Structure 1
Amino acid sequence: MNSTFWAALAVNLAAAAGASLAVLLVAFAVGSARRLHRVVDVAWGVAFSAVAAVGYFLSAGQGDDTRRLVVTLATCVWGLRLAAHIARRGRGHGEDPRYEKMLAKASGNRTLYALRTVYLLQAALVWLISLPVQAAQYVPTPAGVLTWAGLGVWATGLAFEAIGDHQLARFKADPAHHGRIMDRGLWSWTRHPNYFGDFLVWWGLYLMACATWQTALLCLISPVVMSLLLIRGSGKRLLERHMAGRPGYAAYTARTSGFVPRPPRRQTARTERP
């Protein structure tokens, strides 16, 4: 890659940081006014979409047009779908227990503590995780096998995430399922089809940026960080800790994969010896 590519990408990195920060600061203003910081989860997907849109316009005439369009649309479709889903799911509910617990640790002003530990942290994560999107928009070589392979991985991930969210929403909407564990559809193959879908989405976007070895190395941190967040951070680990005490959850975990989908294990009846 020549110096022009790196100079243009550097400008984009600064613009992306500004776009991410702007979205999260708006979310902070809304969350503070409503005293409901769960709005940051809606802003998460919006911020990625904003970064992708800014990069698309700044990279005009520099990156390959096909790759620019594909990676921008893929990011925006994923981000805006996720934001809309979270907004619908949270309508009429109070604060997310995760944020209640986090803000309870504040020794001083809770609002400023929320700004530092929730909003500014997520703005930085959006900027870091979006590196493949930004870099892919500036790669001048024509879209090739890795671009289309990445699109396939992305589409598979989006399907897992969207279908899993839809199945769970329908399950919860039925009063007869109150207090029961969702173990149907994709949820019978993995305890976290939405997180697994997110995982595939970001590895797919990473593949789109791998047109050169330089961008492949530069952007590798993005899907790695996202994977760690989903599996070891605020995703799977925290949710399972929250669900652990529910009736039937131990049996569900015994027969269902914790992340990568696979057919559910057969439960054999245990008989006691006389």
Structure 2
Amino acid sequence: MKSILIVIAVTVFALAFALFAGAGSVEVYGVNAFLDCAFVALAVNWLAFIPAAIAQSDKYYDSVGAITYLSVTGFAVYAAWSALGTLDARAIVLAAMVALWCIRLGTFLYIRIKAKGGSDSRFEKIKTRPTRFLVAWTLQALWVILTASAALIAITTTDPHPIGVWFWIGAAVWVAGITIEAVADAQKSKFKSDPENDGDFIDVGLWKWSRHPNYFGEITLWTGILIMAIPVLSGLSWLAVISPLFVTLLLTKISGINLQEKQAQERWGDDPAYREYRRNTPALFPKPPKS
């Protein structure tokens, strides 16, 4: 019963957020397009949950997350095109940015989970309990709705604005963010694939500057998207500022740094080299390493 109540609460929150934040969005089928996007996100994850629960498998969880981003972005583009008859440059670029990010990250996560045998330790205790497993899929839909909110609101706005300085500043921030995230992921994959590094912690490349540079990159790129959306935000659509704030909260306090730091402490906490690395390297915001 507790899990069902959580699913209901998360669903109500997601739809209420989309209803209010999308007040300035075009309408499709008599509903603001951002709210329609929220319905799409929930539907994709609930449908994916059914075979996953039957098979008691989390193998495609991250892949469905990427599909959800693509689905809601595609629907937002469709909604804007249907209502306005055209798409402005900001909407086109934002849609392409979200698609590029989720395809890159989704592919990376799929390859990583496949290399681990198709199982994620996060779901070991819940995938055999359908209602608790459903909570995870519903939360993934909420994750997409909140994270992509700035992009979706800007794409579906009824009042597009010409490209200006905010667009270019945000685009530069986004490019920096996705570059940092992609490079950090590639460096870690290369490090782990080397048998000589078996059992060691990574402290090379960007990982010399930050213990979690990939997370810093992700926070940065969503901040860039919010900056690009600023000119079209007004009234309740300013709720879109939750996008990078939510990503930061998620990656630092819920399912990112806190969990990985705990695992690292358990694994290397007695290693003097790791303790030195931890003392001299910030958890998130990069800092040049000491010579």
Normalization by structure 1: what TM-score? 0.86
Q: What code does the residue aligned with 1:193 have?
A: P
Show structure 1 runs of 5+ residues with no match: 267-274
Show structure 2 runs of 5+ residues with no match: 1-21
Total equivalences in the alignment: 258
Matched, 1:128 2:146: yes
The structure-2 alpha-carbon separation of the partners of 1:62 and 1:148, relative to structure 1 and needing over 3 Å to count, comes to farther
CA contact (8 A) 1:189 1:256 kept: yes
Aligned partner of 1:86 in structure 2 is: 109
CA contact (8 A) 2:160 2:232 kept: no
The structure-2 alpha-carbon separation of the partners of 1:212 and 1:15, relative to structure 1 and needing over 3 Å to count, comes to closer
Q: How does 1:228-243 map to 2 (within 5 A)?
A: 228-243=249-264
Q: What code does the residue aligned with 1:173 have?
A: S
Q: What code does the residue aligned with 1:85 have?
A: F
User: By how many angstroms is 1:19 displaced?
Assistant: 2.1
Q: What code does the residue aligned with 2:46 have?
A: L
Root-mean-square deviation (CA, aligned residues, Å) is: 2.3
Aligned partner of 1:159 in structure 2 is: 179
User: By how many angstroms is 1:18 displaced?
Assistant: 2.5
CA contact (8 A) 1:45 1:78 kept: no
User: By how many angstroms is 1:260 displaced?
Assistant: 0.6
User: By how many angstroms is 1:50 displaced?
Assistant: 1.6
Q: What code does the residue aligned with 2:104 have?
A: R
Identical positions, percent: 31
What secondary structure sits across from 1:142 in the alignment?
Answer: coil
Q: What code does the residue aligned with 1:136 have?
A: A
CA contact (8 A) 1:38 1:99 kept: no
CA contact (8 A) 2:25 2:153 kept: no
Matched, 1:100 2:124: yes
Q: What code does the residue aligned with 2:289 have?
A: P
User: By how many angstroms is 1:94 displaced?
Assistant: 4.6
Q: What code does the residue aligned with 2:154 have?
A: A
CA contact (8 A) 2:154 2:232 kept: no
Corresponding residue to 1:258 among 270, 283, 288: 283
Runs of 4+ in 1 over 6 A off after TM superposition: none
Distance in 2, matches of 1:71 and 1:142, equals 14
